[in-house]
Homo-oligomer: A and B are copies of this chain.
Amino acid sequence: KKSRQTVNTDHDAVLLIEANLDDQGGESLGFAMDLLVDAGALDVFFTPIYMKKNRPACKLSVLCAPEERDTFVNLLLRHTATIGVRYQLMRRSIMKRQFKKVETKYGTIRVKIASRNGVVKQTAEYDDCAHAARVHKVSLADVEREVQLQLAKLENQ
C-alpha cells in the first residue's frame, strides 16, 4: 500500500483534477470515490458547492501523480455525470517519512514517523488502531493514547 512506503524527499508535485457534479446522487458519488481510491489516487475528496438554478452540488477533487492524468481523467468521465474535468499542477512540500512497529497492550501497531526542519510527528496507523479498537472493544482514542504512552516510554529509555 502506497501510503505506508518510506518517503525520502521533501518536495514533489501532484496533479489536482476537479469536476462540479450537479446531476449525480450521493450513492454513485460514493461508488466513484471507492474506485478512484482503489486506482491509486493520492487523495479523493468532495466539497459541497451551490450552483445556479438552486442546485446543491458536489465538487469532486482528485490528487494524483502527474503522469497518471489520463487514467484518472478517464475514470472521472466514465463514473461521474460530468462531461468535462479541469486540472492543474501543484507543487508540494512534504515531510520525510518512515515506519516502525510499536508493541502495546492492544497488540502491535505501526507508527508513521514524519520529519522536516526539526518537526517530528509520530502517528499511529489508522487501520491498525481501528482493528485493535474493534477487537478489544475500546474506543479509537483509547488505542491512540496507549500508542502515545508506549512511544513516550521508548523515548525515555
- Residues in A lying within 8 Å of B, measured CB to CB: 14, 16, 20-34, 37, 43-59, 61, 63, 73-74, 77-79, 81, 83-95, 97, 112, 114, 116-117, 119, 121, 123, 126, 130, 133, 139-141, 144-145, 148-149, 152
Residue contact A50 to B43, C-beta cutoff 8 Å: no
Shortest CB distance A64–B (Å): 12
Give the number of copies in the complex. 6
Say which residue of B14, B56, B119 sits within 8 Å of A26 (CB atoms): B56
Given contacts A55-B27, A117-B74, contact A79 B48 (CB under 8 A): no
A85→B74 CA distance, assembly (Å): 26
A48→B55 CA distance, assembly (Å): 11
Shortest CB distance A115–B (Å): 9
A32→B139 CA distance, assembly (Å): 9
A74→B95 CA distance, assembly (Å): 10
Q: Would you give 16 A-B contacts (Cβ < 8 Å), ordered by A?
A: A21-B26, A22-B27, A23-B126, A26-B51, A31-B133, A34-B52, A45-B57, A48-B48, A50-B56, A52-B54, A77-B95, A81-B121, A85-B93, A86-B92, A87-B90, A149-B149
Which residue of chain B lies nearest to A43 when distances are taken between CB atoms in the complex? Answer: B20
Residue contact B22 to A26, C-beta cutoff 8 Å: yes
A32→B49 CA distance, assembly (Å): 16
B-chain residues with CB within 8 Å of residue A27 when the two chains form the complex: 22-23, 53, 55, 126, 140
A85→B90 CA distance, assembly (Å): 10
Given contacts A48-B56, A49-B47, contact A84 B93 (CB under 8 A): yes
